[in-house]
Amino acid sequence: MESETTRSQDEKRTIIVDGQPLRIAIRRGDGTRTPLLLMNGIGINLEVLQPFVDALDPAIEVLRFDVPGTGGSPAPRIPYRFSALARLVGLMLNQLGYQQVDVLGVSWGGGLAQQFAYHYPERCRRLILVSTGTGALMVHGNLSALRKIATPRRYKDPARMAQIAGDIYGGKVRKQPELARTFAETAHAGSRLGYLYQLLGPAGWTSVPWLHRIRQPTLILHGDEDPLVPLANARIMHRLIPHSKLYIFHDGHLGLGTSAPELGQVVDQFLSAPSPP
């Protein structure tokens, strides 16, 4: 087991879950709030979510992990389907001693969050879906932007990331190049094989047939300038998930980081609101 000391004082280490090494980070809370589990986008290491974690109420315990093949988690021997990844997440929670969590998934991680909430409803108290969709049956984004995320090259070449970030992610990074540079400096890609496995994980997957069965209170956050995942997808999920609320923010696909103060406040209000009957 490896451990790290970081500026944010988050506890970071590598654990072995069902034979798979997983690099995790835990920001300890005060024990009064339900812990929050974050599931990141494709090819993204857990550090990229730091601005959002910093924007949350310090009382909330926050758990992050690098998906196999990303950041500090090595690629598995064979690709994980979303169902298998959801099971792996459940085993990780068991090992870390979490019985129930709130779950936030962004982009690719939003699909995994839907899968986890559906298969393990007793372990997911509330669900937050950010800049995501319903998989194969969704409104697809700009073809040019989709082509540019087909490989992890942008994570390995900060200059290229800064050059194309506006076209891929939209929103604030179009007019504020320093945001793209910060993102490029923070993002550390895993292996090409790991990235390919993440692409294969949700191949053919869709949540459309069962979204109406999700009973957790659900908050859907989506930017109005997202080239990768059009806003229409958030509206579709809002109609399909019974106890859902839609919040539209003025930003793009990276809004969870570039609009962290705003979204951190919205998420905190959602998590602390009284439970519905």
Task: Give me the active site residues, please.
Answer: 107
Q: Where in the chain does DSSP place strands (E)? A: 2-4, 11-17, 20-27, 36-39, 62-65, 101-106, 124-130, 218-223, 244-249
Q: What angle do CA 16, 50, 76 make, to 5 degrees?
A: 30
Helices (H), 56-135: 82-96, 108-119
CA torsion, points 49, 266, 61, 179, in degrees to nearest 10? Answer: 20
Report strand pairing: 11-17 vs 2-4. antiparallel
**Amino acid (one-letter) located at 261:** P
* Two tokens, residue 56: 């949350």
Contacting residues for 147 by C-beta, under 8 A, at least 6 apart: none
Report angle CA 233, 162, 258 to the nearest 5 degrees.
Answer: 50
Q: Which secondary structure element, helix H or strand E, spans residue 137, and what is its range?
A: none
Positive/negative CA dihedral, 123, 93, 195, 170: positive
Contact assessment for residue 102 and residue 35, using Cβ atoms and an 8 Å cutoff: yes
